[in-house]
Chain A
Amino acid sequence: MVNSQQNNRLASGGLLVDREHPITFSFAGKDFIGFAGDSIASALAANDQWLISRSFKYHRARAVLTMAGQDANTLVQLPSDPNVLADRTEISQGMRVDGQNYSGSLENDLGRHIEKVGRFMPVGFYYKAFYKPAGVWEKWAPLIRKKAGLGEIDEQFEPEYYDKAYAFYDIVVVGAGPAGMSAAIQAAEQGAKVLLVDENPVLGGSLSYDRLDAKGEVAPALRAGMIADIEASDNIDVMLEAICNGYFADNWLPVIQAKRLLKVRAKEMIMAVGALEQQAVFHNNDLPGVMMSSAVLRLIKLYGVRPGKRAVVLTGNEQGYSAALEMLDAGIEVVAIAELRDSPPISELMQAVSDRGVEIYQNHAVYAAQPSSDKKHLAQVELRAQLGRGACANSGELISCDLLCMAVGYTPTYQLVCQAGGQLSYDDESAVFTLKGLPKAAQIVGSVNGNWSTDAVCGDGYRAAVLACNRLAQQSKTITEISEPAPIADDSAASPNYSWPIFPHPKGKEFVDYDEDLQIADIVNATRDGYEHVQLVKRYSTCGMGPSQGRHSALATARIVAQATGKSVAQTGVTTARPPFAPERLGHLAGRSFYPARYTSMHQRHVEAGAQMLQAGAWYRPAYYGASDQRDACINAEVNNVRENVGLVDVSTLGGIELRGPDAAEMLNRIYTFGFLKQPVGRARYALMTNEAGVVIDDGVSCRFHDQLFYVTATTGGVDRVYQSMLKWNAQWCLDVDIANVTSAWCAVNIAGPKARDVLAKVCTDVDLDSEAFPYMGVREGHVAGIEARLIRVGFVGELGYEIHVPQHCGEALWDALMQAGSEQGIKPFGIEAQRVLRLEKGHIIIGQDTDAMSTPQEVQMGWAVSAKKPFFVGHRVIKELNEIGQYRALVGFVVDDLSAPIPLESHLVIEGEKMTGRVTSCNFSPTLGKPVGMVYVPPHKAEPGSEIEIRSSGGVMVTAKVVELPFYDPQTERQAL
């Protein structure tokens, strides 16, 4: 059944709604009709559906409080979207809305019975119970956990598209109320490029709903004039329904609009973010029908919805009278005004209300509110005379009503301001806030800056814009400088804050924090338990930790804590406001997933050859070629083909760094452990890198092509770090050398095997490949298949081999030429897995696999690669000292002769008795040797070849292994010197 009555829709009005376009949606299983432009909450209110949610702890009925998306009372569940603010989310056709955090139904929530035992749940009750006897907490924890949380996440949800953009402005103004609009207009006038951001669908801020004069004519006129100015200006970009959700250093501002995160850098920032209306704290102040005066005004003026039929106003300022007049105009009966102040001066608004026959109870408070019989709405309030701060007379007057409008004051919207470094202070006497200590290029204007009367608010915006523009004019020709206006006169007399709207009740339920159902006693008792600091109060009671992050609890808490601990509110302070301002979706922050992948220029050839690819950092590399169920056979065949014929492997991912200049050799000499000053041109040298702690961190080959040109390779995973560290060191050393990371400019293959020279000779004719002319560890420049190439004769896999480095775009041509040239010799590609076996057989270590965060050159048998003569290299001092104290472990080779034993895996431990004494770093079945071989860290007394060690292999099986001399294969290194 569709509820199409909209009984609470006023005959006219509603700035945001389009009465021509009805929208059908459902809430808690019932269909409703609202208008386009309605929020979920306003459409429900129009249909007299007030109950929107159940509170976190007691499951109390909750409804509209601010109508501004600043409280947790309106959190609802959409099918794939939990914790949605019903007062900020527009309805759409067919939208399905549900309540959340209830059991049974929202209307008849069984969870509400928990309130009956509420008195057994004092502040911090979790800490006080559920643990005795030992073990019982394990039973309680899952039960309590089930009660936690509000809405339900849809685990099947497929993420939608979000993106990011960047923008740069002279001035960003956050908040398009009168202060923000004034600032934007003036800044544009002086020539600044301005971005004006507001979270609402229309410009105007409070001018869109507030009543500034008895007739209600001033605000609309002022608003219309300012909007016209903004629309006429070419210098102002307006972003509506956009929220500036944080302040980060140097005016770096995230603005969220629709599905985009706009990151804005502002030369100047003006925060016209307004103020947040606060509740009065009294018995049952959370009942549906009890709402802020600003919510009353918003419902009437923005949505044309009647907030109630019979209203009482609790006020300590002018706005209570504005709301009263607005309600009277809307045909709502206003039965009484409880005026907290004792005989305030009669204002125009107050007079107008009085003239319309509404009784004003001076110096009166709402002591308690009482619910209707179903507990779901306000039925009456009890007015009592105030006797002192927070104290009321013993009896009062009961007035039946369905709406209580609270107007007792505001806190500045200090969140962004404090994120920018602003410090909040408060005067206990006047209840006036001030914010100070902002960075120079950020200003606050309007009510957040303590200005309330319209002239002061607009003047403040104007003044800030002039100051900002005048500063910008120093660097910009398009921005003009004008004379600075006089400071705004103190406007604190217009402050709407009533100093103590807090009225304890013997039955409690005077809610300080709606999110967490915290009452006055909870706050007071927290201090009595010893949690006196306001931060401890927060953490102990959870006050301010809920979805609204203390927006409506911070001030009341500070007041109560101050009173309980005998301090001033100023001394007590509020807890830190952290980003974001409003809850923001992770999808907005994440944007499009960006995890780059790198492919070598020969990638396509590997795919065509049936390679199984593996990921190495960002790179994709061929693991082996062939079907995955034939893995071991494929790898063995590749190994055998390299040992017997010739194989080709893509080594493009190796890092390449070029060092040019007179000090190139000196640079290498300092950064690597070997000596490089006397490295001859045309020769390669092994290059081992240690950090300042003497730990091995990278290796490669340094090739000297010219006196002042070195081409150094680095490990695939390490090159970026190596390059970075070279730059870092040279920032200190200031050597005359150019360092460039040329990894992606080059690609490379290694052609290896006894027949490598025969194959290469077919396609490389301008380099003398004869072993004497181009010996092992020689480097040459020439052409391969017509491509300019750098040839490096190295032997990582332990065979005759050439690394051929060519410009990146020639990769496929090089690959094809070599594969074709070698077809006679039986050339086959081999992958990383075969290369790992081959190098292991040859006893070559892989940095990062055979080394760890403590490995020194000595330990990994690389002492030969460390120059003893150099005066300095990075790590020198530590290595020298380490060599003196002796090593505590050594990396050695081992073989397992028992072929029936489970082959040890990398990281299996060496066990001696009860002790762990070492660890396997590499281990593979060696096709060449016909048994498992590996490398292992052992203590010095086991390092001698012939020692036996016990390795705890898979399933805990102890395997005996024998330490042997490295390398396993070709100990005389005859093969690679062919």
Chain B
Amino acid sequence: MPFGLLKYGLSKDYPAQQHFTPSDTTLKKHYDVVIIGAGGHGAAIAYYLSKYHGITNVAVLDKGYLGGGNTARNTAVIRSNYLTEEGVSFYRDSVELYQNLSNEFGYNVMMENRGQLTLAHSDAAVRSFRWRAEVNQHLGVRSELVDRQTIRELVPNLHMPEDGRYPIMGGLWHADGATARHDAVAWGYMKGACERGVELHQLTEVQDVLVENGKLTGIKTNKGTISCGCAVQAVAGTSSVVAKMAGIKLPVHSFPLQAMVTQPYKPILTPHVSSPHVHVYVHQTSRGEFVIGGGSDPYPLYNTRSTLDMKESLAAAALELFPFLSQARLMRQWAGITDMTPDYSPIMGLSPVENYYLDAGWGTWGFKATPISGKMMAELVATGKPPALIKPFELERFYRFAQINEAGATAASH
């Protein structure tokens, strides 16, 4: 039993901690910084602003509850085995920050380095994995092309027929691949920010972004209008909707992304296993549930309904990899909204509106980027200058044909 829990057992009254701004707190008239969206990203920006830059007159607004958007809906995959130099460097630094997050927060986000295995079922896939492995290794990320024998050792219960319909020809093994309790990441950041004076306002919906002469002046919410020095939008799932309030058109199309989870069973699968070819990934959470996900829905939509078709195809695909899961019982399915950019990379940085910053276009790669994006965006907000690590991700890249294409490293792996 850890010592940290002693006080709970020994004190007569529960030592409640009030991690966040109490819900009856009213909005002030002015904040130095307003962050739209209290997901992991918004909370992380607030945290780093208050911790490293001494900026604490900050309000984090959310139309729902803390971490209730895609932070709550993603399947908690952390990895950095992307393809481009810009992408790999960025996610690499994020994974590194994740490693120490619990101790930095004083709040356990339950980061587990379980590794990620992506399966190649064709020589084209082997080629593309070798490319990723080469780039990853060059940039110091643990990522390698592995053969069938190694795959068998990594995941002994994986179905690997010699001559099946989709033979497994190799895989990309990413030892740095990890998972964490997704909610706790947002909570830990917000708790740290609130301790330093940041205010969290839930059930506070942004209705308009007020701009005069190309300059941000304030934010209109359902609880009144507030003025602010600057604002950041961190609203994965509705990036283009909120940007539009500021008069900004983003190259974003939003698609639902579904996932599902079985009942809890005793642990039998350690790494995260994904197969872009059969469009599925499977991992077993620390609670024992199998999480199953795959590709986005085929058409754009802002509705987080679930569909039967997707559930059927995800189940069929999961059983191709792990036939014995046929007996496992599905408990819940859900969807999030992914803001897809043309190059499968995020949009971070300045916007055409002065003092309005973008943290958008997070498609299926937002959760894993939470720490580094928060840290870099905070620096941007504090200094007005984009740090080198995120400079390549600015909105302007689309006008310069300087895309950072991660399409090949994203499919069904997230």
Contacts and interface: CB of A to CB of B under 8 A. Distances in A.
Given A157-B326, A909-B138, A530 B286 contact: no
Interface string B5-33: 11011000010111111110000000000
Contacts, number: 290
Q: Which of B134, B165, B194, B308 has the most CB of A within 10 A?
A: B308
A526 B127 CA distance: 50
Interface stretch (B53-61, B312-320, B371-379, B386-394): B312-320
A758 interface: no
A535 B38 CA distance: 14
B343 to A, nearest CB: 8
Given A141-B110, A849-B124, A909-B135, A153 B325 contact: yes
B340 interface: no
Nearest to B138: A916
7 contacts: A252-B308, A263-B308, A536-B68, A590-B315, A595-B165, A852-B408, A885-B401
A586 B330 contact: yes
Interface string B106-144: 111111110000000111100110110011001000000
Interface string A77-100: 000111100000000000000000
B329 interface: yes
B221 interface: no
Contact of B14 (A151, A252, A521, A542): A521
B262 A82 contact: no
B335 to A, nearest CB: 9
Contacts of A732: none
B146 to A, nearest CB: 14
A906 B1 contact: no
A21 interface: no
Nearest to B305: A249
A530 B18 contact: yes
B190 to A, nearest CB: 9
Given A246-B308, A249-B305, A881-B401, A149 B134 contact: no
Contact of A148 (B127, B128, B286, B306): B286
Interface size class of A (residues with CB under 8 A): 35 or more
Interface in A118-132: 119-122, 125-132
Given A153-B327, A249-B305, A145 B286 contact: yes
Given A148-B266, A153-B324, A528 B14 contact: yes
Interface stretch (A577-585, A630-638, A787-795): A577-585
A1 interface: no
Interface string B170-201: 00000000000101100110010010000000
Contacts of B323: 157-159
B333 A578 contact: yes
B100 interface: yes
Interface in A130-162: 130-134, 137-138, 140-141, 144-146, 148-160, 162
Nearest to A122: B8
B319 A907 contact: no
Contact of A587 (B22, B110, B327, B407): B327
Contacts of B400: 885
B96 interface: no
A580 B330 contact: yes
B358 interface: no
Interface string A225-258: 0000000000000000000001011001010000
B214 interface: no
B405 interface: yes
A353 to B, nearest CB: 40
Given A144-B286, A529-B17, A585 B265 contact: no
B5 A121 contact: yes
A589 B316 contact: yes
Given A148-B264, A907-B134, A80 B19 contact: no
A120 B315 contact: no
B288 interface: yes
B5 A125 contact: yes
Contacts of B287: 148-149, 542, 545
B66 A127 contact: no
Contact of B320 (A81, A160, A249, A593): A593
Interface of A: 56, 80-83, 117, 119-122, 125-134, 137-138, 140-141, 144-146, 148-160, 162, 246, 248-249, 252, 254, 261, 263, 419, 521, 525, 528-533, 535-536, 539-540, 542, 545-547, 549, 565, 578-580, 583-587, 589-591, 593-595, 597, 614-616, 693, 848-849, 852-854, 878, 881-882, 885, 905-909, 911, 916, 919, 952
B23 A565 contact: yes
A589 B318 CA distance: 11
B72 interface: yes
B187 A127 contact: yes
Q: Which of B64, B67, B312, B405 has the most CB of A within 10 A?
A: B312
A145 B267 CA distance: 7
A597 B166 CA distance: 10
Interface string B133-169: 0110010000000000000000001000000011100
A140 to B, nearest CB: 8
A546 B263 CA distance: 8
B207 interface: no
B227 interface: no
Contacts of B113: 138
A580 B307 contact: no
B103 A134 contact: yes
Q: Which of B22, B329, B405 has the most CB of A within 10 A?
A: B329
Interface residues of B, number: 102
Contact of B107 (A119, A127, A589): A127
Given A127-B108, A159-B319, A853-B405, 13 more contacts: A120-B9, A127-B107, A132-B2, A149-B265, A159-B326, A160-B326, A533-B23, A547-B263, A549-B332, A579-B311, A583-B330, A616-B122, A854-B403
Contacts of B320: 593, 595
A549 B262 CA distance: 12
Contacts of A146: 266-267
A157 B166 contact: no
B127 A907 contact: yes
Contacts of A549: 331-332
A919 B131 CA distance: 8
Contacts of A693: 342, 403
A853 B323 CA distance: 34
A529 B16 CA distance: 5
Nearest to B289: A149
Contacts of B21: 530
Nearest to A146: B267
Contacts of B167: 615
A141 B405 contact: no
A853 B408 contact: yes
Nearest to A836: B123
Contacts of B403: 693, 854
B314 to A, nearest CB: 8
Contacts of A145: 267, 286, 288
Contacts of A419: 306
B17 A854 contact: no
10 closest A-B pairs by CB: A149-B288, A528-B16, A589-B315, A583-B329, A120-B9, A587-B326, A129-B4, A907-B131, A131-B102, A159-B326
B316 A593 contact: yes
Interface string B207-226: 00000000000000000000
Contacts of B2: 129-130, 132, 140
B308 A533 contact: no
Contact of A532 (B23, B131, B316): B23
A585 B328 contact: yes
A140 B157 CA distance: 25
Q: Which of A145, A162, A848 has the most CB of B within 10 A?
A: A145
A119 B9 CA distance: 5
Contact of B327 (A157, A531, A545, A616): A157
A619 to B, nearest CB: 11
A278 to B, nearest CB: 21
